[in-house]
Amino acid sequence: MFRWVGVVALLCCLVACKKKEVKEYPGVKTGFEEVHGNDIPADWLTFKGNGYTIRYPAAFKLDTTGYMKTDVIFYTKLSYNEDEFSDNINVMIQDLKDPQMNLDQFAKLSEDEIKMYVEEPEIIESKRVNSNGIEYHNIIYSEKNPNYYLIRDQHLMIRNQKAYVLTLTCEKPLFDQYKETGELVLSSFRFQ
């Protein structure tokens, strides 16, 4: 049994704190600044991972230490007074124990684990997507994670008996503002 959701949920719980509203610092570049359409800005960088590439804003901080079994984490800068949560995007890769597991089964397993292991889960959207020649399952869900209310946007893929899970994690009040850029990062993922 895979424990993807538990790992991903723990990944983003950095420091518990209570906040009721989010006020951004003027002039702080988080990396989630507005993008225009589906064009990746010229100043974005390319990360070359284990069999894939992904594009990301230069303002993001990278962590390639394998923290919480991730291949890479792209962290934002803290963006408002008393901010202690770094919104992020991460890539996880895991060998599948069942070589016959397909994307439908993996998506169902992921949804079941969200419902089982996440505090106050709400699956907002769950659908199959085919974009740029890559088929993935997109799950967007919210959760309470100790004192944060988070929204996660996940792209689930299977290739060569490996599961790839790309996750955008934002505090709920920032999700609508960060989603467009986050989706552009997630959709820039390419297998090599």
Burial of 176 (0-12, 13-18, 19+ CB in 10 A): exposed
pLDDT for res 85: 84
What type of residue sits at position 66? G
Q: Alpha-carbon distance 55 to 185, whole Å?
A: 6
Residue with tokens 């709400």: 122
Q: Candidates 3.40.50.720, 3.30.70.1520, 3.40.1000.10, 1.10.3720.10; correct CATH number of 4-10+41-191?
A: 3.40.1000.10
Angle ∠(185,186,191) on CA atoms, nearest 5: 110
pLDDT for res 36: 75
pLDDT for res 135: 95
pLDDT for res 77: 77
pLDDT in tens, the chain (192 residues): 444 444 333 333 332 233 334 444 555 677 787 677 778 988 899 999 999 999 999 989 999 999 999 999 999 877 666 777 889 999 999 999 888 999 999 999 999 999 999 999 999 999 999 988 899 999 999 999 887 899 999 999 999 999 999 999 999 988 998 999 999 999 999 999
Q: Are 168 and 92 in contact (CB under 8 A)?
A: no
Q: Which residues pair with 89 in a beta bridge?
A: 74, 168
pLDDT for res 30: 75
User: Domains of the chain: which residue ranges?
Assistant: 4-10+41-191
Quote the DSSP letter at residue 9: H
pLDDT for res 27: 58
Q: Which residues pair with 142 in a beta bridge?
A: 122, 151
Q: Alpha-carbon distance 10 to 74, whole Å?
A: 16
Q: Alpha-carbon distance 29 to 76, whole Å?
A: 9
Six-digit token pair at 126? 């769950």
Q: Are 125 and 106 in contact (CB under 8 A)?
A: no
pLDDT for res 79: 66
- pTM value is 0.84
What separation in angstroms does the CA of 2 have from each of 18, 32, 182?
Answer: 31, 31, 25
